[in-house]
Chain A
Amino acid sequence: MKPTAAEQSLFVVILGAGKGGSALIELLTRCSGIRILGVADSNPDAPGLQLARYHYIPTTSDIAWLVARDEASLIIDVTGDPAIPSLIARHKSPKTEVLGGIAARLIWSLIQAEHEMYEHLAHAEKLSTLGIFTAGIAHEFNNPLHGIMGFSQHLQGETDPAIISEYSREIVTLTRRLSEMTKGLNLYARTGQMPEITDVQIPQLLDEAIKMAAFSTMLDEVTVVRNYAPVPDMQVNPSELHQIFVNLIINAVQAMNARGHLTLSTGVEGGYLTVTIQDTGPGIAPQDLARVFAPFFTTKERGSGTGLGLYIVRTIVNKYGGTIEPVSQSGNGTTFRIQFPLSSAA
């Protein structure tokens, strides 16, 4: 009999939580059959340590202690510190293997290449979505522009101070509206290259995402229901979470043909911060449920969907240690349910 996946599990220890360590954590947590026993770095602010905590992976600054763990099948050393190999040799259990030096550098390069590929995909997905936004963006910009143009033309030659101040106020309001929109667009279009982790209020970000989604489809016929129970702030890159919500909202609205109820909820359930996005569309066919997250899976017409939306969504959710699942019965709408471990909350 073949051994089961659990029996085959590799228990990995990662030394070094800088760029290399973070990339390793991101990749290995996506592989089944691999468990990360712990991550060590002498710098308590190393970015990989935070990432590890999202995934409930123990972290420590005590490298010797972690190296000595008996269950470890493999130690991966990406510290680049010349003192580490001898420290490993002194403390590790005899059956633990070590990946270090040039071999670790090779792995690091492979991961780097994979990571770059993903970043390109994520960016391409954003650009393709921006493509479907352009008509909506033009519309949303042209309306206030029309107002600004109109009030300015009527200001010319106007001498009544009351009217002058009234029209100027209108122009200021319209200009503010334009600048709000460019802010929203900027949040979306920003590339993933510079991760900026900040405290993020999820309900506020959901509202931003609705505004953004309104560029791509008519939301006038969609009743938006907000069930925001108070949730703690999350420590995340807002641009990434924004991309998740925009994609899910656009999918929901597209599924409903822009007519129906869109319900957005937040809440805390048993150690998880939960966000659900629910629509009253046709639902997802049972045979498609397992495939919707696959890259390039789409049921939309050629040219209107790349099928990358949900793939990117799931990758980002997993990155923060979260899970996402569709709950759908054909004909009864779809609910996408996201759960983030509360450890990633501030």
Chain B
Amino acid sequence: MALWPFGVHDREHPSLGVILVVDDEESIRKISRLTLTKAGYEVIEAENGEKAIEVLNTGENPLTVDVILCDIRMPKINGVEAIQYFRTQYPSVPIIVQTGFPDLNLATSLMKQGIVDYLVKPVEKEKLLAAVSKAAEQRTTCNT
């Protein structure tokens, strides 16, 4: 699979996929954006669960978002609540959790709800890319 340079995702050179990044911290979103766009993905961002739900319910997004990368501890609607919503409303969109909580119980319960991975920060960029690419593949398989 070819890696497209930063930000290239027009019709001729489609991006590898669209990733919804949900995190309340600007610097964390920036890291994810850098890592993912450099690898050829397109990134949309939301700063809490409420915004994420709003974004996902906008226009074509339910169809174009390939993977959700979601933090847990956030204001308004937190990650756990948002994930419950995504799993019921958009069960075909794979979810990766990326959080600062090294919490085995939480990880297990979320895995049972169907998230594809539970990454504990700090996450190295290779690890994130591997998880995202695996999840994106799952999305493609689901759609066909």
Contacts and interface: CB of A to CB of B under 8 A. Distances in A.
B125 A138 contact: no
Contacts of B31: 146-147, 150-151, 154
Highest count of chain A CB atoms <10 Å: which of B25, B121, B125:
B121
A154 B123 CA distance: 13
A146 B34 contact: no
Instruction: Decide if the interface of chain A is mainly helix, strand, loop or mixed.
Output: helix
B102 interface: yes
Interface residues of B, number: 25
Contacts of A170: 27, 30
A143 interface: yes
Interface in B66-105: 73-76, 78, 99-103
What's the interface size class on A, roughly? Answer: 20 to 34
B100 A146 contact: yes
Given A170-B27, A218-B73, A221-B75, A139 B100 contact: yes
B10 interface: no
A142 B73 contact: no
A174 B102 CA distance: 20
A141 interface: yes
B74 A146 contact: no
Given A150-B125, A174-B27, A221-B75, A142 B100 contact: yes
Contacts of A218: 73, 78
Contacts of B75: 220-221
Contact of B124 (A147, A149, A220): A149
Contacts of B30: 150, 170
B39 to A, nearest CB: 12
A94 to B, nearest CB: 72
Contact of A139 (B28, B76, B101): B101
A174 B74 CA distance: 19
A138 B74 contact: no
B35 interface: yes
A67 interface: no
B34 A140 contact: no
B59 interface: no
Given A149-B124, A153-B125, A154-B34, A143 B101 contact: no
Contacts of B27: 147, 151, 170, 173-174
Interface string B1-43: 0000000000000000000000001011011101100100000
Given A143-B25, A149-B124, A138 B100 contact: yes
Shortest 8 CB-CB contacts between residues of A and residues of B: A150-B31, A142-B100, A146-B121, A139-B100, A220-B75, A149-B122, A146-B122, A142-B121
Interface of A: 135, 138-143, 145-151, 153-154, 170, 173-174, 218, 220-221
